[in-house]
Chain A
Amino acid sequence: GQQVMQIPQYQHVQEGEDFTTYCNSSTTLSNIQWYKQRPGGHPVFLIQLVKSGEVKKQKRLTFQFGEAKKNSSLHITATQTTDVGTYFCAGPVTTDSWGKFQFGAGTQVVVTP
């Protein structure tokens, strides 16, 4: 079946450094969504990418959708302690009703001051 994979599972970052987390799908996606879950919190929607090769920025976060629409990345510049949390990507389940998404396992980000 359709699978969405994220790497790395864990990311330890020194404050001020950059890092990238990757999301790969076994099937072509119509769109991809990214969510952030703070420790002890619930996932919160960050952004949606729809077009092939699309790049969107939110302050220090840069999201990219691959040309083949099978992968995506999240790049964080100058990491801050507020970036701590788990980042999930999610792709729509293509064979089923609208609204269902397959989530990756997430990248847990730990920031060292």
Chain B
Amino acid sequence: DVKVTQSSRYLVKRTGEKVFLECVQDMDHENMFWYRQDPGLGLRLIYFSYDVKMKEKGDIPEGYSVSREKKERFSLILESASTNQTSMYLCASSPWTENSPLHFGNGTRLTVT
């Protein structure tokens, strides 16, 4: 069974801090994603990676960056956290096959104060 592990379930950071959210998958999937989930807005794609060191912007990349140095690991970076980045962050992975379903991690609830 695919396992997508996010390093923290809950995180509280201060405004201006640099924040790292880590995600690891164990199924050798090529695609990895970072989504943000807010009430009434559903899941919005922040960044997508289809290979090591490759990345594409999603719908809401502003204020975020990503890193994929190894195939199994995809990191989301908030360079300078702001209160409007308080949200649930979901990492997902999928194989490089057209229209493969996404496998999600348990999520990180980030609060920026």
Using CB atoms and an 8 Å cutoff, list the residues of chain A in contact with chain B: 6, 9, 30-31, 33, 35, 41-45, 48, 50, 88, 90, 92, 96-106
Tell yes or no: B73 within 8 A of A by CB: no
| CB-based nearest A residue for B50 | A97
Partner of A42, one of B44, B45, B90, B100: B90
A-B contact count (CB 8 A): 66
Interface centre among A90, A92, A103 (most CB of B within 10 A): A103
A99 touches B100 (CB 8 A): yes
Using CB atoms and an 8 Å cutoff, list the residues of chain B in contact with chain A: 30-31, 33, 35, 40-45, 48, 50, 56, 58, 90, 94, 96-107
Contact A42-B43, Cβ < 8 Å, known A48-B99, A97-B50, A100-B48: no
A97 touches B56 (CB 8 A): yes
Contact A103-B104, Cβ < 8 Å, known A42-B90, A97-B48: no
Q: Nearest-CB distance from B92 to chain A (Å)?
A: 8
Complex-state Cα separation, A9 to B42, whole angstroms: 10
List of B residues within 8 angstroms of A30 by Cβ: 99
| CB-based nearest B residue for A29 | B99
A99 touches B48 (CB 8 A): yes
Complex-state Cα separation, A88 to B100, whole angstroms: 16
List of B residues within 8 angstroms of A99 by Cβ: 30-31, 33, 48, 50, 94, 96, 98, 100
B104 touches A43 (CB 8 A): yes
Complex-state Cα separation, A51 to B104, whole angstroms: 25
Complex-state Cα separation, A70 to B43, whole angstroms: 20
B98 touches A98 (CB 8 A): yes
